[in-house]
Structure 1
């Protein structure tokens, strides 16, 4: 048995007196590591509390507390009149002792890797940044948000409910949201038809888990939404692309596919197709519903930016004309608010909703009752309506600004149609240009262009350029840099 004098305690016990962790716990944690990695062998006797306290320059009671904690955790045995001893049986670590000061870089076990789920989003710290169309959180009415949220926290009735959350969502919020959806989108639903999620992506994930099996065919528009495609492929579905033109997804091409293959699902963003921003025309909406009735496929309708319309009343969701229960409607609420106040939702018939609640209960059992209650109050008080009314005027001005800038500065190289809604424009180049080089050279000029907004394939060179997050001065400067970079590339 080694003598305590032979063990170099000072070499592996390093006390940080400014840390939030109590000193006695720092000693405990570092002694455990030393025991695990055989720096202190089994059965070794530790120094007396007085001796170790002098060695570490701490109070003796601190060492007493450390030894008591180690004994309580089962690392030491304290024998009266003999001292403290390390337990005799300690699992051996395969790792080398000198490598244990750092957390392992790799697992010691194998696992399945997937290139399908590689994150397509890029982020960069640049003066100007393009994205695929996000709101400007600077327009958020912070005072309204903080007032409603603070009130929700202070109410006694809510404090009583904080300890328990029904994973099906706040019933109060669902009642308010169902009423809001009915008034704004014409969907005659009850709270039983609603599932509250964290995001549109979570909604699609739950739907895919229930509806899709390996080998099922999912028809998607081309070009399409990469995040949704990754979710479908994760469930080993087969993606069949359908062309998208100025009237939206080509229903004739979809019909021809259905005549040859058994289609399980059609995924669409009919209000403003992602990424091209075109709206699905009324004749094609009716044709799509007729095809679903005839061939029995489910329609997943995602309305990611329904609230952002500028020139005319939006077309009602496809789900409002569905009488056969063929449409699952995916939406978002509070997109114009600060990120913590945004949420997703699914509208579906009762029988499908019952199954979706089971899946939500597994992946998001905790929920956020305070946030949902606050959102419900914002609907009931009309805060949401007032905020949208104010922000829509600003977003419309920004949409007009970016179209004028593209038409004026970049018309020699690309063209962009003015969208009726949404927070992005679709710009197509007149002739092919290397978009990767364009992004690289733009970054050198402090304009960041992420790869997820670039679309380059045979016969198509295009970009989805978000305008919602930039004010007019930022739009002017970023578009100036953008067009100058295109000019440099010839």
Structure 2
């Protein structure tokens, strides 16, 4: 038996081809197989290892391509005389792992904040969907179909900076049907999520020292995005009807505004709905003072009462609204497909800016989403999810009333996937969140909603991503984790 055979071991842990490639490389690296040494024929090696000969042929071909082996017609396969560099020599003493940068830069404290990760078994999160309900089988099938059929040079190459046309076309039909828009594919830019869409809008349309407006309690990433753009942040009071448009009007009389960020459908963080009269007045102000409205419609599809109010964008006759949505709140945050809707001229301008930070999105994912939009899978999934989330909202509300009514107050939201929960002032919400986490439950401590003018001692408690049993456990942990101020 050729001695090389005894050096090769086949294990059931990974593919035979990968194992043989790795083992041959290691034998060459360690000098056990030396330059110029002849290897057994593919037929002989296959017979001895009791594997298919074609597997050995592919192993030899791969190693030849990598430079480890050389093949001589009529003579056989040999260890290459010109091997890849096996033992590279360091040209200086290996430094320790670097922590401090060797160059100067200016830190930006406003962008520093912890990254929330799903590290706890139980969670009352910001209002995320339940990935267990996602149409993963259908999406996987659509993804596989797109990656294996059609013109792969086009599919797997560079595409349109605005996003795959098939998705933009299907999305236009869907948004026209469900949100009363009147748009075509040319009015849509596909992005990786609301954060990217908002960043691009600031990059394209907001200049340093521009005045921009947000609700007094608002999406933290929105505020940070405006600060990153160098804009002057104007906080507008909010109440049970969302942003106070009368207060916004007073600001407009005093200074020019470039952009106003709003979440009218389910106000963030309070989940309240901006009423029709405020919506109309906001559009009138935008028309009069010519500012941009960035409408973040992060969970339009999840509304539990009567037919929801249509977006501001559906009544925008002046081309002043940029409408943002995302499938991350419909399917799962891991699927990074969002969209911006606006006038064609603005979308073209945004696409040029998108190209300098992200040439294009995930073509395969975008085509897969287009397929499940076209065949109705996504709409069926959303209807099913809506029913499930409505039931979970009811369960969670009953649990809060039964176990925490002495400590929290809330208004049952008409939509969305979380409840804005106000804690008794005697409760230390930050300490409570820390203790809850130690006990196996994640909740936000609500500190991101605090400001010098306002400390609501409240947070968003998401119910959609937990089933009934998990909601019961979560409320039980939350109750015994309450920390009272001394």
Question: What is the TM-score when the length of structure 2 is the normalising length?
Answer: 0.81
- Matching of residues 378-389 of structure 1 within 5 Å: 378-389=372-383
How many residues of Structure 1 are paired with residues of Structure 2 in the alignment?
Answer: 425
Q: Is the 8 A contact 2:134 2:331 kept in 1?
A: yes
Q: What SS class does the counterpart of residue 110 from structure 2 fall into?
A: coil
Equivalent position of 2:470 in the other structure: 474
User: Structure 1 pair 126/296, CA: closer, same or farther in 2 (3 Å)?
Assistant: same
Structure 1 residue 138 corresponds to structure 2 residue 132:
yes
- Relative distance call for 1:456 and 1:363 in structure 2 (3 A) is closer
Q: 2:257 aligns with which of 254, 260, 263?
A: 263
Offset of 1:18 from its aligned partner? 11
- Asked if 1:170 corresponds to 2:164, the answer is yes
2:235 aligned residue: 241
Q: Tell me the distance in 1 between the aligned counterparts of 2:327 and 2:99.
A: 40
Deviations 1:274-304 (A, max 9, x none): 1000111101001111111121211111100
Equivalent residue in structure 2 for 1:58, among 32, 53, 61: 32
Match of 2:425 in 1: 431
CA distance in 1, matches of 2:123, 2:358: 32
Instruction: Tell me if the contact between 2:443 and 2:461 (Cα under 8 Å) persists in the aligned partners.
Output: no
Indicate if the aligned counterparts of 2:420 and 2:461 stay in contact, CA closer than 8 A.
Answer: yes
Q: Is the 8 A contact 1:169 1:196 kept in 2?
A: yes
- Name stretches of at least 5 consecutive residues in structure 1 with no aligned partner: 1-16, 28-55, 76-85
Q: 1:489, 1:397 → 2: CA distance? A: 34
Please state if 1:395 is matched with 2:369: no
Kept after mapping to 2: 8 A contact 1:198/1:344: yes
Change (3 A) 1:105 1:121: closer
CA distance in 1, matches of 2:322, 2:28: 54
Query: SS state of the match for residue 486, structure 1?
Result: coil
Q: Displacement, 1:69?
A: 3.9
Question: Please, which runs of 5 or more residues in structure 2 have no aligned partner?
Answer: 1-18, 37-67, 69-78
Shift of 1:417: 0.8
2:306 maps to 312
In structure 2, the partner of 1:116 is 110
Displacement after TM superposition at 1:196 (Å): 0.4
Q: Aligned partners of 1:465 and 1:363: how far apart in 2?
A: 34
- Checking the alignment, whether the CA contact within 8 Å between 2:188 and 2:341 is kept in structure 1 is yes
Q: Are 1:137 and 1:336, in contact at CA under 8 Å, matched by a contact in 2?
A: no
Helix, strand or coil at the partner of 1:460: coil
- Counterpart among 458, 472, 475 of residue 462 in structure 1: 458
User: Aligned-pair RMSD on alpha carbons?
Assistant: 2.8
CA distance in 1, matches of 2:428, 2:324: 35
Secondary structure of residue in 2 paired with 1:255: helix
SS of equivalent residue, structure 2 residue 457: strand
Q: Which residue number corresponds to residue 207 of structure 1?
A: 201
Deviation at 1:215, TM superposition (A): 1.1
Aligned counterparts, 1:1-20, within 5 A: 20=22
Question: Cα–Cα, structure 1 residues 355 and 411, in superposed 2: closer, same or farther, change >3 Å?
Answer: same
Name the CA distance, whole Å, in 1 between partners of 2:172 and 2:194. Answer: 17
Name the structure 2 match of 1:32.
none
**Matched ranges for 1:337-416 at <5 A:** 337-416=331-410
Rounded to whole Å, the distance in 2 between the matches of 1:435 and 1:66 is: 69
CA separation of 1:428/1:151 partners in 2, compared to 1, >3 Å: closer, same or farther? same
